[in-house]
Structure 1
Amino acid sequence: ELRLFNLVVQLRLVNSLNRCAGRVEVLHNQQWGTVCDDGWDLKDAGVVCRQLGCGTALSAPRGARFGQGSDRVWLDEVNCAGTEAALSDCKTRPWGDNDCTHKEDAGVVCSDSGISEVAQIRLVNGSSRCAGRVEVLPNQQWGTVCDDNWDLQDAGVVCRQLGCGTALSAPGGARFGRGSDHIWLDEVHCAGTEAALSDCRAEPWGASNCDHGEDAGVVCSEVAQLRLVNGPSRCAGRVEVLHNQQWGTVCDDSWDLQDAGVVCRQLGCGTALSAPGGARFGRGSDHIWLDDVNCAGTEVALSDCRARPWGESNCTHGQDAGVVCSELCVIHSEIMPVWPAPSSGLQVSV
């Protein structure tokens, strides 16, 4: 009975809304200290939750997500099997032996905390729930994520957490509009295998040097945000993008082979043969969503490229951009270099 009592008082979760979520602290030699996040995972967090009578582990946030401690870092390289009765039963380095700073303090969110990890993240201002500006919900208030170091690995964790497949792109620069509340996360660095964004390394909640012009976004694979229409195949035609549930066109200002190449790669259509402008594949009739597109050529998706904000343009549909990709078609054993040619109508012999 005495041992069980000591196990409970030797462990606590702090700096959160309740006792079942927070920074992990352990008591050793009459002094509270933290746990380093090296190797910290859901199995380790699960032992903590069970020891505290807080149910199961929802996440094992790293990178001082619940703030930095100020005393000793007592444990490092914790490696629980998951069946231990207490964190002190898990394999670790000796007490106090570590190479960590408090920026690596480990945290836990348990099921009895009343926090739902899935409900803590959403994508807004996109074409569907699987594309948009990333927003997270700590402390009952939605806020954004800064795009510093934001990449496909981070976006992939978001897509998986939301059940939206894999990540197609990780656009920054407030591509899905600027948020208006807190910027909750900065310097996110996911390994790519985490169950939730809150498990990834990042600056502590609310600590950032960003503005909303740097809000991060995500486009997941379960969103068909791009198509080529009015051409001879799905790999050639007028470029159309889906935004706010509505298809629209792209202006040909600065439109070139690098931009077209990104489109072809995103659609699985090979490389770009040409980037015709001037509504070569007919005029669209809805919004002109993108203008002054300027891709480096290495982007995964058109939404990753630099451009004016969505819907902001000085164009007409007479300037709708088009693309001809290398996997368009084969005619008389030769891939047509430009489709259609500038001086001819659209003709296909079968």
Structure 2
Amino acid sequence: MFLRVLLLSLWCWGVLCAWVLSAENNSSAESYSLRLVGGASRCEGEGEFQRPGLNWTTVGPFDMTLGFGARLCSVLDCGTVLSVGRNTGLEREVVMGYPHCEQTALIQCFRTGYRSGSSLQLQCSDSVRLVSGSGLCSGSVQIWDGSWTEVCDGDLDQRGAEVLCRELGCGAPSLLQGALSPLGQTFHCEGHESALMDCPRSNSSTCSSGATVHLTCSEPIRLVGGATRCAGTVEVKLRGEWRRVIRKYGSWDQEDTVAVCRDLDCGSAVYGREKDDFPHSPVWLVSSDCVKESSVRGCVSGSHSSSSVVEVVCSELLNRPIISVSVSDGASELQPQGVRVQLGSKFRVKCSVEPQYPGGSFRLLSPAAPPAQNRTLFAVNHSAHFLFSDADHTHKGNYTCVYLLQVFNHSFSSQSHTLQLSVGESDSDLIIRVVVILLLKLLYILPMSYCYCKVRTRAALERGPSSE
């Protein structure tokens, strides 16, 4: 009896605790409202925040990033965030938003008791969005038709993808999955439209499970002034304008450099620094606390005038070298899988690279020697030549050029495609050999045939005419 009472008490206590926690969570998650006012649509304008029973209060723009703006757009049931800015006016009471707050409930990210003459200006797309992607510029495509609906496989072609990426403030489409059919698409874009919903539309079939369009647009970030796209001064495009970026607080660090190289798909971070050697001009301020989980563009939290620039070098710095084979004597033939050189001939493997940096060296990886003996030559006029004589079957196999260079006291390398080389006789030699063999056989067969016929004839004469 005592055990039954104890178990019943514990069960009641658990139910009560669960009810209290649920009530607290619902209260914190539901006890606020958010809206945008003064804009062209419900998804554009000045931010306002309201707690139950209180008046609407203007949202201040403190440290608002594009990534946090995306969170607000989602709460408003709008599309992808397009811009986050500020509007200056009369000083008034505001609530401040803190984008990097740790609480999951958005209400915990707003704090009261502030006065400011600035307010948050937020613009979200109201008719299209990308959801469940790795960043602001990737995800499954959805359109607004009274509710958010997915775009089906085959409903969007390349020109439609270009319009959509441009509408969302992203770069060109870099990956379009499930939308390769040029016929039967719902959206018939010509490519010059400013929004996807401006394109002529036709009816589409209902999407089957998983048959939706997933789009990845390139991040609007670039490195300028360097020898390749993976080295130079960092610039980000926001609201149609390219600007340099600098860190909002503190100095540029390795995590910031890692984020830049990641967004550019340029490999790992090698080098990054901020320096003052540029005329004062507008720059984008990056809130570095968020770059671990967002793109550099998603961490932009305002603008400023500065003479600072950020230089970044990523590991994929060098152009890919080119490998080719030529024969000084004998012959070579192009094969579907590579090159075939004639047995016993002298051949040359050339490693070259498009002019980019002076100096450097080339290492040839070949099957003709163990790895420790693979040869390295200094680059002369951006190329090196590796000579081989008396080609035999030990020379057949895969050949690869590796370009080596020192930049900013760091070692870089880039590897060519693999070239497969085979060693054998040429087709003409094979034909000659076959002809010679056939002639020799004929020279052997003809005398034998002559002798055989002569013996048969003599035997027939000796027997004489046959009698009836």
TM-score (norm: length of structure 1):
0.44
Flag the structure with larger Rg.
2
TM-score (norm: length of structure 2):
0.35
Structure with the larger RCO, 1 or 2 (CA within 8 Å, 6+ apart) = 1
